[in-house]
Amino acid sequence: MQILNDWRQVIEQQAKETKSYLQNVKEPARNYDYSSRNRSEIGFNVFTISSDLYYRENFHSDIIKAFLDPNAKHGEGNKFLHAFIHLLNKCNPQRNINLSDFQNARVSREENNIDILISDSNSGKAILIENKIYNAIDQHRQIPRYFEIVSENYIVEAIVYLTLNSSKYLNQSDWTIDEIQRINPVIYFVPSYSLGSTNLFDNWIVPSIIECNNSESLFILRQYGNLIKFLNTNSMDTITLEKFYLTLKESDNLQTSLSVRNMLNDLPEYLAIRIEERYKGKCYPFKNIWRYKNRDTVFEAFELENLYLKMDIWCSERGYKVHFWNSKDENYDIKVNLPFISSLKDFNYEGDNKSNVEKHFSFNQEELLFEFIDNLLLELKEFKTQPVSNLVIEKHD
């Protein structure tokens, strides 16, 4: 008895550790699925066709500066700059940057090595943009140095830390406590694209496209927006796998992952066994229930007149695929000949094969699956007791 208690405690501890591990990897797993679904080719894009410069930070700074500059040749004045300020105000609603403070803005590149500097001498306000779209490291005390230089002539309204996605963080290890207290309130973290948070694509590029009246500027904005999404979604796998890799290195998480993988591999067979055990001896009017290739639970041989119907339930880690079919007559139309079997009303033909109808149940719909099977068995029992003259049974030569 003590052995059973000890074994039960071991199993409970393993289940607890596995649950904790799965909680830790839920976010990277979700991100990995998202990037896999959204990964795509960029298609016809002038930036990728013309050169490989889009892999460099300077390229993005040049593009962004050209649109933010009210005096640039896009001919839209302050429109794009105002859209950018709206983005910053959305990032931090507690602070409000006034558009009127940048009515006479000057936008420069690499002034005092600052990627993009937006300044207005009339208001004495400034916005700094530090471009880290390609994950460049933070130089020694880089942001505090820029802050001090600009603060000599302007009030710094915002320091925009522009990244490819939300995975990069600002290194403040070489900052003083005073610098952290003074600078942090004006730091704005802006990913170029990020699901569910304020970002450059959704909150600057898209609004700019909507407001743009210049056809050439509109074309460039659309092309640049496509590039940003392409770069982001196609880089997420590497970032997500890096997080997963670091998680695997903790404690015995690698062994836990291998165990989870093995259990997932065995899960379809277990699901099929659950169905078989539930209906073993209770599968009438089918003659038998058995498993084919371990993961397919087969309800065999509903026979009536020239009918020979079967039901296969293929199990996978994502759920159940139910096939109801006439295995001996491929010309038999299930839906036409069995319209009174209401359990099959939501089923669809398997392609062009009308003798086989199918439906998918998700992993969490086991109870719904069992309810369907119970109802189908009841309807087939009633069908079997009907006088032959009342049955719709087509005969095919």
With respect to residue 377, please indicate whether it lies within any of the assigned structural domains: yes
Q: Supply 72's token pair.
A: 């640039």
367 in any annotated domain:
yes
- What was the pLDDT predicted at 54? 47
- 96 shares its domain with 53: yes
pLDDT greater at residue 244 or residue 395 = 244
Q: Looking at residue 232, what is its pLDDT? A: 78
Through-space distance between the first and last CA atoms of the chain, rounded to whole angstroms: 65
Query: Pick from 250, 280, 313: which residue ends a domain?
Result: 250
Please report whether residue 92 resides in a domain. yes
Which residue from 112, 202, 120 is spatially nearest to 156, judged by alpha carbons? 120
CA 328, CA 16: separation in Å to the nearest integer?
49
Do both 50 and 187 map to the same domain? Answer: yes
- The whole-angstrom separation of Cα 171 and Cα 47 is 31
69 and 197 co-located in one domain: yes
Does 397 reside within a domain?
A: no
Are 121 and 211 members of one domain?
yes
- Give the end of a domain, one of 208, 225, 250: 250
Q: Tell me, yes or no, whether 304 and 167 share the same domain.
A: no
- The arithmetic mean of pLDDT across residues 219-232, rounded, is 87
Q: What percent of the chain has pLDDT over 70?
A: 81
Q: Tell me, rounded to whole angstroms, the distance of Cα 234 from its chain centroid.
A: 12
What is the pLDDT, as a whole number, of residue 157?
A: 95
Find out whether 114 and 146 touch, Cβ atoms under 8 Å. yes
- Same structural domain, 55 and 201: yes
Task: Let me know if residue 151 belongs to a domain.
Answer: yes
Is the domain of 66 the same as that of 206?
yes
Q: Model pTM?
A: 0.57
- Strands (DSSP E) contained in the chain are 106-111, 114-120, 125-132, 155-163, 187-191, 288-292, 296-304, 307-316, 319-326, 348-350, 353-362
Cβ pair 46, 59 in contact under 8 A: no
Classify each residue of 357-385 as buried b or exposed e, where b means 16 or more C-beta atoms within 10 Å of its C-beta: bbbebeeeebeebeebbeebbebbeebee
Q: How many domains does the chain have?
A: 3
User: Lowest-pLDDT range, 194-208, 235-249, 251-265, 266-280?
Assistant: 235-249
161 and 55 fall within a common domain: yes
Per the structure, the complete domain to which residue 317 belongs is given by 265-390
Q: How far apart are CA 21 and CA 254, in angstroms?
A: 10
Q: What is the Cα–Cα distance from 69 to 78, expressed in whole angstroms?
A: 8
CATH number at residue 319: 3.90.1150
The string of pLDDT tens digits covering residues 364-385 is 999 999 999 999 999 999 998 8
d(CA 199, CA 189): 9
Residue 255 lies in a domain: no
Q: What is the mean pLDDT of the chain?
A: 85
- 184-205 pLDDT, tens digit each: 999 999 998 887 789 999 999 9
350 in Cβ contact with 358 (< 8 Å): yes
Together in a domain, 219 and 368:
no
Last residue of a domain, one of 250, 281, 300: 250
| Predicted confidence band of residue 108 (pLDDT cuts 50, 70, 90) | very high
Starting from the edge strand earliest in sequence, which strands make up the sheet with 187-191, in order?
106-111, 114-120, 125-132, 155-163, 187-191
Residue whose structure tokens are 């593009």: 63
Domain for residue 259, yes or no? Answer: no
Same domain, 225 and 96: yes
Q: Are 318 and 362 in contact (CB under 8 A)?
A: yes
271 and 292, same domain (yes or no): yes
Tokens of 88: 């910053």
Domain annotation covers residue 2: no
Angle between helices 253-279 and 236-248 (to 10 degrees): 100
Tokens of 100: 């009127």
Specify whether 82 is located in the same domain as 179: yes
